[in-house]
Amino acid sequence: MLQRPWFLRTWIIQEVALATHAVVLCGQHSASWDDFYRAVSYAIDLDYFSNTAPEMYSSLRSIEKARTDMAHGQTLRPLDMFTSFRIFLATDPRDKVFGVYSLFSESDLARVSLQPNYDMNVVEVFTRAALDCIVSEGCLDVLSFAGCGQEESPLPSWVPDWTYRERSQPLLPRFILGGLFNHQGCPASWPSASGNSFPVVDVSEDLKILSLSGCIFDRIVETGGVLEKGYYEHQPGHANLEIASLMKEGSDVLIKWEEMCGIPDGKPYFTGEAPREVYWRTLHAGCYPYGTEQLTREAWDKWYKPLQDSAELTRYSSDGWTKIEESQSGTLYKIAAGAHWMAVKMTFTMRKEREQSRMSGVSRTVIRTENGYVGLAMGHVEEHDHIALLKGGKVPVVIRPGNDGAWTLVSDAYVHGIMNGELSNSLEYEMLRFS
């Protein structure tokens, strides 16, 4: 039932959120919205949808949150609204913005300059919506949803395309902790890579060029490949299937990531942390989605073990088999290797109680910089892209030389060791132009 198009139409959001009594009708059957959502929520809690395309169930979560907020006199900020409903569809792309305006608070409506006006084209609507998010919030969080993931997009690179369905979470604690995995461990204020700075913003008259005060401080020299997760589009799937799909496709990527973080060498990171500490913290973008550092580390170790075993098996298959063939040691070693593979498989099969991963590394890539930093970014970043800090930006951004001396925004980024403003006071800032 959740696959029906109705659940992903933008205009149904306000219909449910603003209804005093909402009833779900399907053929001759009916149920109150509250009972219907309670059933879906129970399935989510059981991890019934772990390996299912998130659009199948997260749309209901977004609608329910809007409905609950409205009932309690609370509303999401415009950026949170655009983010929550990004997976929804609209025949007219402008409705991705205008379709949620009825849910804005009066104070936010007073701050935004854009009003529903279908004489404007899509580029102008999305551009003005991005500027409204910067002005109304006094920060650059909206840039984490922008970037040149779509090469032929008519939008400036700093303007989010709200019609683009991106499954990876932006690398902002605000969305990592308060979004898909809603828990009580969110701090009152988030750390910021740019310290306590405020954005310095200028925009050209034609709204194509955005100038921001920032500093280019490093360059990417290596990327580690993308850890892709397979989804079942039309049926629910157990959390173990997530492990299985990642084991099948991701072993080589995980080996590469561990090497980039220095795990095989064991050399401490420049912060003094052990490489494995840097590794798991980076893949979680420095956040604790299970509420505390200890709980997050324990959950990570439990979830990662079969993947690690698979990666070790891959190492053994590529290196060990060659050595066995060269040494002509007979079939005994091959039998032992086969037994090891079966043990790994049995260990994985016996791990019944498992939930889907809450790390931010899925659908992203690990990066290593010229100055020895490691971090996380979108999969379309490239070697020789630059990393910049922007005043008022909580996370670094990856940028690329563009046309006419302007930069192209490529991705947001997590860079381990600078996310609490460690570099913010030692950098020299200038106005950077983005097209």
Mean pLDDT over all residues of the chain?
82
- Tokens representing residue 130 in the block: 């991005």
- Tokens representing residue 55 in the block: 């659009």
**For the chain, which residues score pLDDT lower than 70?**
50-51, 53, 148-151, 167, 178-190, 230-249, 310-356
CA contacts within 13 A on the Cβ side of 312: 13
- How many residues comprise the chain? 435
The residue behind tokens 């070790």 is 312
Q: Are 16 and 60 in contact (CB under 8 A)?
A: no
Q: Can you give the pLDDT at residue 314?
A: 59
Q: What is the DSSP letter of 76?
A: -
Q: Can you give the pLDDT at residue 237?
A: 56
Q: Can you give the pLDDT at residue 283?
A: 94
Q: Can you give the pLDDT at residue 193?
A: 92
Q: Are 429 and 400 in contact (CB under 8 A)?
A: no
CA contacts within 13 A on the Cβ side of 262: 17
Q: Can you give the pLDDT at residue 228?
A: 78
The residue behind tokens 């200038």 is 430
Q: Can you give the pLDDT at residue 311?
A: 60
Q: Can you give the pLDDT at residue 247?
A: 63
Residues 288, 291, 292, CA angle at the centre, nearest 5°?
70
DSSP one-letter string for 15-63: HHHT-SS-EEEETTEEEEHHHHHHHHHHHHHTTTTTTB-THHHHHHHHH
Q: pLDDT tens for residues 83-113?
A: 888 888 899 999 999 988 888 888 888 888 8
Q: Measured between alpha carbons, how far is residue 68 from residues 14, 26, 27, 33, 55 in Å?
A: 12, 23, 27, 12, 20
3-state secondary structure of 14: helix
pTM for this prediction: 0.83
Q: What is the DSSP letter of 7?
A: G
